[in-house]
Chains A and B, each alone.
Chain A
Amino acid sequence: QVQLVQSGAELKKPGASLKVSCKASGYTLTSYKMHWVRQAPGQGLEWMGIINPNGGSTTYAQRLQGRVTLTRDTSTSTVYMELSSLRSEDTAVYYCARDNWKWSFDCWGQGTLVTVPS
């Protein structure tokens, strides 16, 4: 079955960088685009960006432009999200989510909690 497994929780210092992985199984990574979405504690969902694993093209949310980078390793069926210059407002659960070619997210990772103390 389709599954997205993310890396574990992280505790980061302000100003540091973060890299979260999302390993896909049950399908061919390059056949579907992948989104990243985050959710601050007690808050709603925020779309961060999308990567097409077939070629690596990306689009990012304007408010994160310059701080977020999405990459992929097709040999391991893994997508990565890097976020730099971390601040306390980046404390959130980060999700990868597969695009189902219907402009929506049909399969989600389990989430990765990232904590950046103030």
Chain B
Amino acid sequence: QSALTQPASVSGSPGQSIAISCTGTSSDVGDYKHVSWYQQHPGKAPKLMIYDVSDRPSGVSDRFSGSKSGNTASLTISGLQAEDEANYYCSSYTSNNTWVFGGGTKLTVL
């Protein structure tokens, strides 16, 4: 199972919106609603931000939203804040009853 494809880096200024894409195949992202997104600050464990493409766990800011079209899912962060600077990973359930992660995207808040 190949890793999902994410851009290596994205950047934005405080207050702006950014989007991070996550491209898979018809055997994972394209075939299931089970795409999730994780935020990871350096030296910390990942934190669940979005599950089932667009649902937010309790306590996660509504500035974070998710969507999917075909084989590509996206995470959008609106009203960028300095604390959003982190690495972001997507994940999808697959047709092999396994899970696969994206390579990760480093978000820089300028």
Residues of chain A touching chain B, judged by Cβ–Cβ distance below 8 Å, are: 35, 37, 44-47, 50, 59, 61-62, 95, 97, 100, 102-106, 108-111
Contact of A62 among B1, B32, B36 (CB under 8 A): B1
Residues of B within 8 A of A37 (CB): 46, 101
The segment out of B12-20, B48-56, B67-75 that lies at the interface is B48-56
Cα–Cα, bound, A108→B38 (Å): 11
Residues of chain B touching chain A, judged by Cβ–Cβ distance below 8 Å, are: 1, 3, 32, 34, 36, 38, 45-48, 51-52, 55, 57, 89, 91, 93, 96-104
Q: Are B1 and A61 in contact (CB under 8 A)?
A: yes
Contact of A104 among B1, B36, B45, B98 (CB under 8 A): B36
Q: Are B36 and A103 in contact (CB under 8 A)?
A: yes
Cα–Cα, bound, A61→B2 (Å): 11
Q: Are A44 and B36 in contact (CB under 8 A)?
A: no
A100 to chain B, nearest CB (A): 7
Using known A-B contacts A44-B3, A59-B98, A62-B98, determine if residue A105 contacts B103 with beta carbons closer than 8 Å: no
Q: Are B45 and A47 in contact (CB under 8 A)?
A: no
Contact of B91 among A50, A104, A108, A111 (CB under 8 A): A104
Nearest residue, chain A, Cβ from B34: A103
A113 to chain B, nearest CB (A): 11
Q: Are A47 and B101 in contact (CB under 8 A)?
A: yes
Q: Are B34 and A102 in contact (CB under 8 A)?
A: yes
Residues of A within 8 A of B38 (CB): 45, 105
Nearest residue, chain B, Cβ from A50: B99
Cα–Cα, bound, A109→B46 (Å): 9
